[in-house]
Structure 1
Amino acid sequence: MSSRRRASSAPATPPANVRAQGRVFDSVLDLIGATPLVRLPRLVAAERLSADLALKLEFLNPLGSVKDRVGLAMIEAAERNGQISPGRTTIVEATSGNTGLGLALAAAAKGYALTVVMPEGSAPNRAKMLRLLGAKVDTTPARQGMAGAIGRAESLAARTRGAWMARVFDNAANPDIHAASTAEEIWRDTAGEVGVVVAGVGTGGTLTGIGRALKPRRPSVRIVGVEPAESAVLSGDEPGPHQLQGIGAGFRPSVLDLGQLDEVRAVSEAE
């Protein structure tokens, strides 16, 4: 026999920084949520900040945004309430942002037909992705904004048998999922040491849900919303066209609880 030692067939212990993507999941929907926080020490040093700064990497959701959480949550809430069922229901929604992709992901995985209405001028790649996921895409004149898209979606739903509108701007499942998951992840990963949460305001569901979950436990936490300066409705200005996809709907959504926001910042496209 050779005196050389045989290499062990046992797998090596993975490095501590290997993430969970090596695991096997039963559904792509199981990959939604549980996104990490990443500290930004170089930016903190460069800006001479007195606090830690971290980003929550929602782009690690399957289709790249926080709206994957919302799309799945709205569908599952409607299923629990007996409002929809696969093979019988057509989901209809008006969106210019990532809500459509979140709905399309969940609809494709669960077997629902989906029609998305978007204002013209919305990102063309988003419409292409929606179609690749099996959704139908309809468009409305850009000058009508989201109000026009919502009106068209309501008209389509009214004449489509078995249609159900998700209504992300009005659906309580939107802020509820952020209270139940996004906020809990932030609380856990910061060990409760969270001082300020900042996010763009589209539907308002993210910050509403986070505020509702965190403020009772840490009253000092500040919730700060960001909206486009070109359509700073929450700051008291008139709605207007802008190129910041996914935020600045041009009206105050009913799911947005302004009582949870300590501050709203208007940020220009250039900024």
Structure 2
Amino acid sequence: MTNHWLRYLKSEKNILPTTASPSSHWTPLREIEPNLLLKLEFDNPGASHKVRAARHIVRCAVQAGHIVPGLTTVIEKTGGNFGFGLVLACSEIGVSVELAVGLSFSPLKRHFLELSGAKLIGIDQLRAGSTPREVVEWHLANAGRLGKSYFYTDQFNNPKNIEAHEYETGAEIAQQLKDLDNIKNISFVSCAGTGAHLTGITRALLSAGYTVDVTLVEPTGCDSRNSIFVEHKFEGMAVGVKPPLLDWDLVSDTVHIDHASMLATKQRIAATQGYIVGNTSAACLAAASALTVQLPKSHKVLTIAYDHGLWYA
């Protein structure tokens, strides 16, 4: 075991309790329009909210002995943002990262993942028609032949994904809301890929004493609850599987946003706020803006700027 690894284990900031502790890096929460609060998660290291879950999952795996620097390679399927989080979390401890990224996802993201130090795996398999999940499963099944000891972070089924957003992201938002005057009711507008951040943030706000209703945003033509999906450009939502970490009992309403409405909102936010948000963030903002009319001062609409829009054509 290297001195670097011992320092990592002994460092106070890396010794987490059984639940995630708030990060020392807080992203802003701003009222960008009357009654509309935007949590600027693109201000995170890695430029998205996914770094929170990636770091928590990696650190818990380290504590449990599932990740050992010098021996373990972390493997995951991702559209990019979770991958950036894994690269950041693993670079702190000298652990390699291998990612299966679907070829339909942002080419710029794939390029920057490689520049950041990730190895993109299964390119030939993906070109031949395999899914990213099938690529990961093949590598796990052939780990011995490949000379690898893999740890699969499995963001779609790992409950620590929810923990990260309940005890870090959501707790952070709840604390920031205390600085606003007399907020009692929150309408949370969110999408769902894994469903972890919607579930975690909502639970945190409820635990903090807020009355919360949740609107799930979906691309037009998709119905994640019933596993109905169409092709769309909103990366990170309605990803082709029913969100496995989404607590559907928390969802009050579902709103469908089309591509034109997303683009119009993206352009409006850039022109009026100076924020170039991603497509998924813009879709949520489109739905959120429609809910802000004639609310009392004690009621705010909350949504998330998941990442910036520079990745996307």
- Fold match, TM over 0.5? yes
| Change in CA separation of 1:238 and 1:32 when aligned onto 2, cut-off 3 Å | farther
Residue in structure 1 matched with residue 166 of structure 2 by the alignment: 179
Mapped partners of 2:258, 2:84: distance in 1? 26
Aligned to 2:137: 154
Q: Distance between the aligned counterparts of 2:210 and 2:40, measured in 1?
A: 25
Change (3 A) 1:217 1:88: same
**Aligned pairs for 1:108-257 within 5 A:** 108-138=91-121, 139=123, 141=126, 148-160=131-143, 161-191=148-178, 193-218=184-209, 220-234=211-225, 236=226, 238-257=228-247
Deviations 1:11-37 (A, max 9, x none): xxxxxxxxxxxxxxx99xx97741110
- Taking only aligned residues, the RMSD between alpha carbons, in angstroms, comes to 2.4
1:75 matches 2:66? no
Deviation for aligned residue 1:143 = 10
Counterpart of 1:206, as a letter, is H
The one-letter amino acid paired with 1:123 is: S
Q: 1:89 to 1:111 in 2, by over 3 A?
A: same
CA distance in 2, matches of 1:142, 1:175: 32
Q: In structure 2, the residue corresponding to 1:262 is in which secondary structure?
A: strand
Over 3 Å counting, the alpha-carbon distance change for 1:267 and 1:71 in structure 2 is same
**SS, match of residue 211 in structure 2:** coil
CA–CA distance in 2 between the matches of 1:105 and 1:175? Answer: 19
Structure with the greater alpha carbon radius of gyration:
1
Which runs of no fewer than 5 residues in structure 2 stay unpaired?
A: 1-12, 15-21, 262-313
- For residues 137 and 238 of structure 2, the distance between their equivalents in structure 1, rounded to whole angstroms, comes to 21
**Inter-CA distance 143–203: structure 2 relative to 1 (3 Å threshold):** farther
Q: Which runs of 4+ in 1 moved over 6 A?
A: none
2:188 is paired with a residue whose SS is strand
SS of the aligned residue for 1:63 comes to: coil
**SS at 1:241's partner residue?**
coil
The aligned amino acid for 1:199 is S
Counting aligned pairs with the same residue, the percent is 29
Q: State TM-score, norm by structure 2.
A: 0.68
Alignment correspondent of 1:35: 27
Structure 1 gaps of 5+ residues are: 1-25, 45-51
- Which structure ranks higher in relative contact order (CA pairs < 8 Å, sequence separation ≥ 6)? 2
Distance apart, 1:240 and its partner CA: 2.0
Q: Which amino acid aligns with 1:249?
A: V
Q: Residue 221 of structure 1: SS of its match in structure 2?
A: strand
**Does structure 2 retain, via aligned residues, the 8 Å contact 1:224–1:263?**
yes
Once the two structures are TM-superposed, the CA of residue 113 in structure 1 deviates from its matched residue by 0.8
